Amino acid sequence: MKEFDDQKIQKLIEEQFMGEPMLSSTDPKDKEVYKQLFEILGEEPSLTIPLDFSGKVTARISVRQARAGDVRFYLFLLLICLLGFGIGFILLRLADREFSMQLAAVFMQYKFIWLSGLFLLFIVQYLDFTIKRPTIKI
């Protein structure tokens, strides 16, 4: 196929519309290729993307990042609470061994209530996380 720059292609298009062919009769393959090229370029794309597609994708990414940040925050808060309770119990044990043992016995006596309350707290947080989260449909 011959090399054409933009000006030659434009001249070719204009001359074909004027009825004066620029390509010689010895180039039937070139004529067919250019005819197919202009037919393909004239067609509309088969797949259309909504105008707000990029905005929706960006919003979805920011929502996912925010949710990941929320999960990290809650895990960090849980870690801090567990460390606080652990350090507090160790300090209490160093200060008053008898009282710390009585406190541990009370916690063990009502362990199902404590565990149920903790489980309920996690269920509420999970439902808040899944139900209230913003959904963006693409």
Domain spans of the chain? 6-42, 53-131
Name the average pLDDT for the chain: 78
Tell me the two tokens of residue 53.
Answer: 């597609």
| Both tokens assigned to 86 | 């652990």
Which single residue is written with the structure tokens 């001359």? 15
- Is residue 114 within 8 Å of residue 85, measured between CB atoms? no
pLDDT at 24 over 60: no
12: nearest Cα among 24, 108, 115? 24
Q: What does the pLDDT average to over 1-24?
A: 63
Report pTM. 0.44
pLDDT in tens, 92-126: 889 988 998 898 899 899 999 988 998 998 888 77
